[in-house]
Chain A
Amino acid sequence: MTEFFAGIEQLALARWLKGSFIAYPIVNALHIMSIGALLTSVMLMDLRICGAFRSLPQAAFVALLRHIALVAFAGALVTGSLLFSVKASTYAAMPVFLAKMALILLAGMNFLAFTRLRRATGGDAPARGTTLAVLSMLLWTSVLFAGRFIGFL
């Protein structure tokens, strides 16, 4: 495992990012941009499911925001992997980084649970849907905080 992470750091792309004072801040900025889009779309989607902005049609609103959230997550995943590659072994050994990955996994499972619930109930699933939406907001906020702490621990 140690060799695996050390190997990642030796990849040409990782070595280039380590030394580039233009590429690294750009990737960093794109990561922030993805996170911003992800958190915003997740929050709005979950708040709508909880009953906020009732004037907006739920199905269309949620479908649009879910699409944005998935694209944003893909962006965060790509840019995050690039940032990780520069100091892979250091980050992989940090409890707060591992906590962030575990939280992302939980948030992903929560998303799948919500998708299954919607499919089973055919769209509206008020009670349990709300619980999952609140859980989603909590989990993604925790992911954000854990992520920020990687730079400070």
Chain B
Amino acid sequence: MQFKAMRSVALTAAMMLAAGTPAYAHHGWSWTQDGFFELRGKITAIYIGNPHATLDVDAEGEAWRVEMAPPSRTIAAGFTEEVAKVGDEVTAIGNRSLEASEKRMKAVRLIVNGKTYDVYPDRVPPA
């Protein structure tokens, strides 16, 4: 009984691990396409802070989620909650999700109010 009980615990844990493997969201680039993607739209929400900086963008009626660099890096690039506000036009350049139906991208460069912010200077498209 006791061995069986323990074995069932181990099995359940293994199953949960297996089920969890495909889940990765905003960490790294493994979930994004290789080619550059450009998104233009109006900012509907800005969040610059822990644990992740994000921008919600309305692009021709589609609600997009733009993931940004870690907040410390985003702010170091000069992009703070003060430089943009809800309603501003934004251009986000980066990589979109491998999942074509998912309206989500990770930005390496943001252009807002005429200013360019390279949050991943080593990954921006060549000039």
Contacts and interface: CB of A to CB of B under 8 A. Distances in A.
A134 B9 contact: yes
A21 B9 CA distance: 38
Interface in B1-53: 1-2, 5-6, 8-9, 12-13, 16, 20, 23-25, 47, 49-51
Nearest to B6: A50
A86 to B, nearest CB: 6
A68 interface: no
A5 to B, nearest CB: 15
Q: Is chain A's binding surface mostly helix, strand, loop or mixed? A: helix
B23 A149 contact: yes
Interface class of chain B by DSSP: helix
B51 A50 contact: no
B72 interface: yes
Contacts, number: 51
Interface residues of B, number: 19
* Interface size, A (range): 20 to 34
Interface of B: 1-2, 5-6, 8-9, 12-13, 16, 20, 23-25, 47, 49-51, 71-72
28 contacts: A19-B49, A19-B50, A19-B71, A21-B71, A21-B72, A24-B50, A47-B6, A50-B2, A50-B6, A86-B49, A87-B51, A130-B1, A130-B5, A134-B5, A134-B6, A134-B9, A137-B9, A138-B9, A141-B9, A141-B12, A141-B13, A141-B16, A145-B16, A145-B20, A148-B20, A149-B20, A152-B24, A152-B25
